[in-house]
């Protein structure tokens, strides 16, 4: 039985690289993107299904999951990859720009998880990987609102890891450094001039595939040029002086 994968932000960059990588291994892919020509072209290339949709709307994720069930009858892997830089300048705040960034980077992940989990459950389990960023683990002052959204999805992954694992659904995230994709096209010359290496989309796609099969729930894979992906470890926070443990609130 072939693996069925759903990928958002699939028309280019990391999402397209993941689609090609999974399809080359025999997976059947459902591709989602706002770029209709791009996502249709890639779907034809990999022999998959496609949907033109805005992930900031909950119905988009619902339609994508319904398409997977209609076309292939199941769902095994979900890559919630769609993301944008915010461009929000807090000194000259643009509410519409802010809402757009939060809608794609945060809401798109929440809606994607919410829509996918029931079909993953009916399929016997599976895995969800979110494209976060190093900006989800450390402060990136080049775009503080983007940093906020990536911290938020990392927190969601960590909070959902144990509850979803009980249903045989793994969830994790990849946290790549600067990657050569359309999102960073305007930075290429600056990075080249500084001699700073950028990841390729294929580097990150390989990490995404590893993250799908990570044994530890909530794994956050840091991806940097010239290094093997490595799980990020939090130091933890101090508890009460007496060492008491909180009650179970789950």
Catalytic residue among 72, 146, 213, 234: 146
pTM attached to this predicted model: 0.94
Fold category of 4-231 in CATH: Rossmann fold (3.40.50)
Q: Is 140 a catalytic residue?
A: no
Q: Would you kindly state where each structural domain of the chain is located, as residue ranges?
A: 4-231
Alpha-carbon distance of 23 to 25, in angstroms, equals 5
Torsions phi, psi for 194 (to 5 deg): -85, -5
Buried b (16+ CB within 10 A) or exposed e, 188-222: eeeeeeeeeebbbbbbbbbbbbbbbebeebbbbbb
Q: What pLDDT, on a 0 to 100 scale, did the predictor assign at position 250?
A: 59
Tell me the mean pLDDT per 10 residues along the chain, length 250: 95 97 98 98 98 98 98 98 94 96 98 98 98 96 96 98 98 92 74 80 97 97 95 91 79
């Amino acid at each position: 039985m072939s693996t069925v994968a759903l990928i958002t932000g699939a028309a280019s960059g990391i999402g397209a690289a993941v689609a090609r990588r999974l399809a080359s291994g025999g997976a059947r892919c459902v591709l989602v993107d706002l770029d209709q020509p791009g996502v249709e072209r890639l779907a034809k290339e990999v022999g998959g299904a496609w949907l033109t949709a805005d992930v900031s709307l909950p119905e988009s994720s619902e339609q994508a999951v319904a398409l997977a069930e209609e076309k292939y009858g199941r769902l095994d892997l979900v890559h919630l990859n769609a993301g944008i830089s915010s461009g929000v300048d807090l000194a000259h705040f643009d509410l519409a720009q802010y809402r757009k960034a939060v809608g794609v980077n945060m809401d798109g992940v929440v809606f994607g998880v919410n829509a996918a989990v029931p079909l993953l459950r009916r399929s016997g389990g599976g895995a969800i990987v979110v494209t976060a960023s190093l900006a989800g683990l450390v402060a990136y002052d080049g775009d503080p609102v983007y940093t906020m959204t990536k911290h938020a999805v990392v927190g969601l992954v960590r909070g959902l890891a144990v509850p979803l694992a009980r249903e045989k659904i793994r969830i994790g995230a990849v946290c790549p450094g600067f990657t050569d994709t359309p999102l960073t096209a305007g930075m290429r010359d600056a990075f080249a001039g500084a001699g700073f290496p950028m990841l390729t989309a294929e580097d990150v796609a390989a990490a995404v595939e590893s993250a799908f099969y990570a044994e530890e729930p909530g794994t956050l894979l840091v991806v940097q040029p010239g290094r093997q992906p490595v799980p990020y470890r939090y130091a933890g926070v101090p508890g009460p002086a007496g060492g008491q443990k909180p009650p179970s609130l789950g």
